[in-house]
């Protein structure tokens, strides 16, 4: 018989469990934040950001301006990002198992994407479905995936992508414009229940042109060392309260 009662004393050595958990999480956060900080600053305007409502915020991002103290992505947010990639991998497997020929990499292993304006406007898609079952969609169709909490997912199902998630709407319109594909299948996974919602999104040339023109205007402002107008007349606007550049922005004279 194996004696499993070896050793003396508690493995916790008197340390509260909560303190141990907090220390582990602190170390995890430090590691994730260090990884993030080690990444080179983005020097281009990404398709996923062009729909951001405040042009001045996008200019700050393009100029790699440091965020306000205490702002930016903390460890918890970075874990959410990582989890989103895991959920995306699951959705890819499920779609392929159902007969959708979903491609997520080029033959050289890189992502499908586009680059214009000398590489200063870029985007990388989650995938493209080149063939599949008859679901009243033309192939090929771009594929974009998001993992959302229950409240956000339910709002999307109720209102549709354009009204509920204008940032994502803008993202797929830019993709379709520059990749010359007229439809996107937007898939959203409810992280609480693993329910999936799929919305076919058609190319809207008017919206896409307006978004592209806006991106070019932001690049021109950055090149001229100018800041676009603020989105609001005062700093207590709800978008400003959640902005990583709010303090810096409102300290500017204009």
Distance CA 241, CA 249 (A): 11
Provide the pLDDT for residue 102. 98
- Is the CB of residue 217 less than 8 Å from the CB of residue 228? yes
Alpha-helical regions (H) of the chain: 17-38, 55-62, 75-97, 150-159, 161-164, 166-179, 205-223, 238-241, 246-251
Provide the pLDDT for residue 11. 55
Q: What would the DSSP string read from start to end of 103-146?
A: E-S-TTSPPPEEEETTTTEEEE-SEEEEE-S-SS--SSEEEEEE
Provide the pLDDT for residue 162. 98
Q: Per the structure block, which two tokens stand in for 205?
A: 């040339």
Please indicate, yes or no, if residue 33 is contained in any of the structural domains: no
Q: Is the peptide bond before 138 cis (omega within 30 degrees of 0)?
A: no
Provide the pLDDT for residue 15. 62
Provide the pLDDT for residue 73. 76
Provide the pLDDT for residue 41. 77
Please indicate, yes or no, if residue 20 is contained in any of the structural domains: no
Any idea what the CATH number is for the domain that residue 157 is in? Answer: 3.90.320.10
**Per-residue tens of pLDDT for the chain, all 254 residues:** 777 776 555 555 566 777 788 889 899 988 998 888 788 878 899 999 999 999 999 999 999 888 888 777 788 888 988 889 999 999 999 999 999 999 999 888 888 999 999 999 999 999 999 999 999 999 999 999 999 999 999 999 999 999 999 999 999 999 999 999 999 999 999 999 999 999 999 999 999 999 999 999 999 999 999 999 999 988 999 999 989 999 989 987 66
Q: Which residues contact 146 (CB under 8 A, 6 or more apart)?
A: 84, 165, 168, 186, 187, 188, 189
Please indicate, yes or no, if residue 29 is contained in any of the structural domains: no
What backbone torsions phi and psi does residue 206 show, to the nearest 5 degrees? -65, -50
Place of tokens 């915020």: 57
Please indicate, yes or no, if residue 15 is contained in any of the structural domains: no
Comparing CA positions, the residue from 82, 75, 85 lying closest to residue 32 is 75
Provide the pLDDT for residue 251. 87
Q: Per the structure block, which two tokens stand in for 64?
A: 């790699």
What backbone torsions phi and psi does residue 140 show, to the nearest 5 degrees? -80, 160
Provide the pLDDT for residue 216. 95
- Is the CB of residue 153 less than 8 Å from the CB of residue 197? yes
Q: Total structural domains in the chain?
A: 1
User: Helices 205-223 & 166-179, crossing angle to 10 degrees?
Assistant: 90
Please indicate, yes or no, if residue 40 is contained in any of the structural domains: no
Q: What range defines the domain where residue 107 resides? A: 46-251
Please indicate, yes or no, if residue 1 is contained in any of the structural domains: no
Please indicate, yes or no, if residue 41 is contained in any of the structural domains: no
Please indicate, yes or no, if residue 2 is contained in any of the structural domains: no
pTM value > 0.85:
yes
């Amino acid at each position: 018989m194996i004696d499993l009662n070896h050793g003396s004393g508690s493995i916790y050595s008197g340390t509260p469990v909560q303190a141990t958990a907090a220390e582990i999480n602190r170390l995890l956060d430090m590691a994730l934040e260090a990884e993030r900080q080690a990444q080179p600053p983005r020097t281009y305007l990404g398709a996923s950001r062009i729909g951001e409502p405040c042009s001045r915020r996008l200019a700050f991002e393009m100029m790699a301006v440091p965020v306000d103290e205490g702002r930016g992505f903390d460890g918890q947010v970075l874990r959410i990002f990582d989890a989103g990639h895991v959920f995306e991998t699951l959705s890819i497997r499920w779609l392929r198992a159902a007969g959708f020929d979903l491609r997520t990499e080029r033959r050289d292993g890189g992502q499908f994407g586009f680059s214009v304006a000398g590489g200063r406007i870029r985007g990388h898609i989650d995938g493209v479905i080149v063939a599949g079952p008859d679901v009243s969609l033309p192939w090929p169709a771009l594929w974009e995936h998001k993992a959302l909490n229950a409240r956000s997912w339910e709002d999307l199902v109720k209102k549709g992508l354009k009204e509920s998630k204008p940032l994502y709407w803008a993202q797929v319109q830019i993709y379709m414009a520059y990749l010359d594909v007229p439809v996107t299948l937007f898939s959203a996974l409810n992280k609480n229940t693993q329910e999936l919602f799929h919305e076919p999104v058609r190319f809207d040339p008017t919206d896409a042109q307006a978004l592209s023109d806006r991106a070019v205007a932001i690049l021109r402002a950055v090149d001229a060392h100018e800041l676009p107008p603020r989105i609001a007349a005062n700093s207590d606007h709800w978008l400003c309260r959640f902005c990583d550049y709010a303090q810096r922005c409102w300290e500017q004279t204009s």
